[in-house]
């Protein structure tokens, strides 16, 4: 029921502008989803969420993204990244303040991890938090932070005296300075900002110390699955567009979809896409009992999807020929958008490191559990 009703909504409301956002946030689409109860479906009902499972959240993003990938990207940010961390680790005061506006689509909460000298190596970050009476003081610098122009706050990773941790920081707080905005290939904005003696109330501390930060790292697995879902959504959109074009484009007296070479192309794309989707569903379902996905399943899904989406969008563009390669064409945009997925939520290389580390420690898991 969720999928069917959402599919109708997306096709009726989002199809006309799909592929035209070019980095602009689809605020009106998020508001439409919120008005129909489709935003934050995995977050608690007491804050306006749907109280449903993470599988429901994945399905919402995938179904919406099959029509409009930009909306899927935004949806995942609203329910699988920073808001999910606040839900998992935040105080009651933090949840009451930050979750309802995000679920209603009124604002975004970014996540700030990378620094100029600390990307994949989060242990090298210099951003630090020190106690100041009942509150905390935050100093440092963050970069490559997505969605800052649309965000009211960010979950900031930083060093506490006893180890790594994370806090919620408001962008309008004294001491926060936006340094510069970067625009990536897909037109999305990523921001660098400084924090100079920014005061953080103690109720906005999420995690601190070794054990607390381990929990934050576990939460990052949800971001990996959200990123994988975005990849699957982009690929589904590209696949559908290519198949429709091939069935209507005629050459040599027949639709190009009827040539065996083209049939094999679609078979290969479907094989990659369905395998990627299955890995995401499996990872989410395996997390149902423990409440969190493992590094192995989330990294495997993210790695597979990020490589798959680049391959599938490339082949979908190839189906369109010169048309698909033109600026302003849906496939040209999706091809640029797809390339980001091999960097987002951890590069391919970092995902492989996580997978290999898990294999050396636990071996290849048995399906269905031991």
pLDDT at residue 336, as a whole number: 96
CB count within 10 Å of CB 3 equals 12
Structure tokens at 171: 């962008």
> Percent of the chain, pLDDT > 70?
99
Find tokens 């698909």 and name the residue. 324
DSSP H helical ranges for 14-80: 27-35, 54-67, 69-79
pTM for this entry:
0.94
The helix (H) or strand (E) run that includes residue 205 is: strand 205-208
Q: What is the per-residue pLDDT for 368?
A: 59
Task: List residues bridging with 181 in a β-sheet.
Answer: 191
Is pLDDT at 194 greater than 50 in this prediction?
yes
| Domain extents in the chain | 2-79, 109-200, 211-362
Mean predicted confidence (pLDDT) in 95-111: 96
CATH architecture of 2-79: Orthogonal Bundle (1.10)
Q: Is 192:145 a contact under the CB 8 Å cutoff?
A: yes
Residue-level pLDDT at 217: 83
The answer to whether residue 167 scores a pLDDT higher than 80 is yes
The predicted structure's pLDDT at residue 69: 97
Please tell me the predicted confidence (pLDDT) of residue 28: 96
CA atoms within 13 A on the CB side of 357: 10
Output phi, psi for 190, to 5 deg: -125, 140
Per-residue pLDDT tens digits for 52-65: 999 999 999 999 99
CB 139 within 8 A of CB 174: no
Q: Of the given ranges (22-26, 34-38, 154-158, 194-198), which has the lowest mean pLDDT?
A: 22-26
Q: Kindly state the percentage of the chain with pLDDT values over 90.
A: 88
pLDDT, one tens digit per residue, over 254-287 is 999 999 999 999 999 999 999 999 999 999 988 8
**pLDDT for residue 218:** 83
pLDDT band at 370 (very low <50, low <70, confident <90, very high): very low
Copy the structure tokens of residue 365.
């898991």
Return left, alpha or beta for 252; rule: phi > 0 is left, psi -120 to 50 is alpha, else beta: left
**What pLDDT does residue 290 have?**
77
Handedness of CA 180, 172, 82, 40 (dihedral sign): negative
CATH 1.10.3720.10 fits 109-200, yes or no: no
Give pLDDT tens digits for 307-357: 999 999 999 999 999 999 999 999 999 999 999 999 989 999 999 999 999
Return d(Cα 109, Cα 174) in angstroms, integer: 18
Q: How far is CA 183 from CA 147, 198, 249, in A?
A: 11, 26, 35
What's the chain's Rg over C-alpha atoms? 21
Which single residue is written with the structure tokens 């935040």? Answer: 90
Superfamily of domain 211-362: Butyryl-CoA Dehydrogenase, subunit A, domain 3 (1.20.140.10)
Average pLDDT over residues 81-95: 95
pLDDT at 75: 96
Task: Give the pLDDT score at 335.
Answer: 97
């Amino acid at each position: 029921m969720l999928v069917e009703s959402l599919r109708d909504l997306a096709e009726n409301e989002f199809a006309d502008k799909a592929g035209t956002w070019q980095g602009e946030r689809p605020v009106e689409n998020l508001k439409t989803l919120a008005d129909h109860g489709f935003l934050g479906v995995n977050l608690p009902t007491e804050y306006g969420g749907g109280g449903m499972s993470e599988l429901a959240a994945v399905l919402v993003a995938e179904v919406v993204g099959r029509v409009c990938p930009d909306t899927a990207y935004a949806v995942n940010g609203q329910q699988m990244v920073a808001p999910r961390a606040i839900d998992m680790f935040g105080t009651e005061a933090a949840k009451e303040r930050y979750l309802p506006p995000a679920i209603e689509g009124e604002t975004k909460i970014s996540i700030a991890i990378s620094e100029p000298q600390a990307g994949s190596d989060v242990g090298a970050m210099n951003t630090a938090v020190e106690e100041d009476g009942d509150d905390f003081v935050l100093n440092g610098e963050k970069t490559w932070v997505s969605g800052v122009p649309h965000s009211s706050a960010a979950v900031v990773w930083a060093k506490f005296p006893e180890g790594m941790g994370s806090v919620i920081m408001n962008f309008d707080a004294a001491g926060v300075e936006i340094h510069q905005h970067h625009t990536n290939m897909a037109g999305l904005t990523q921001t660098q900002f400084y924090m100079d003696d920014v005061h953080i109330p103690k109720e906005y501390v999420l995690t601190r110390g070794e054990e607390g930060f381990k929990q934050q790292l576990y939460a990052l697995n949800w971001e990996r699955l959200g990123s994988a879902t975005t990849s699957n959504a982009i690929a589904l959109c590209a696949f559908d567009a290519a198949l429709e074009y091939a069935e209507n484009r005629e050459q040599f007296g027949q639709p190009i979809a009827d040539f065996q070479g083209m049939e094999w192309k679609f078979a290969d794309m479907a094989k990659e896409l369905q395998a990627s989707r299955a890995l995401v569903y499996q990872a989410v379902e395996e997390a149902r009992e423990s409440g969190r996905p493992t590094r192995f399943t989330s990294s495997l899904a993210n790695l597979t999807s990020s490589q798959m989406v680049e391959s599938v969008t490339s082949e979908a563009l190839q189906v369109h020929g010169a048309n698909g390669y033109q600026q302003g064409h849906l496939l040209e945009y999706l091809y640029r958008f797809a390339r980001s997925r091999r960097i987002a939520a951890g590069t391919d290389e970092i995902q492989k490191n996580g997978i290999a580390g898990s294999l050396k420690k636990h071996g290849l898991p048995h399906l269905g559990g031991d």
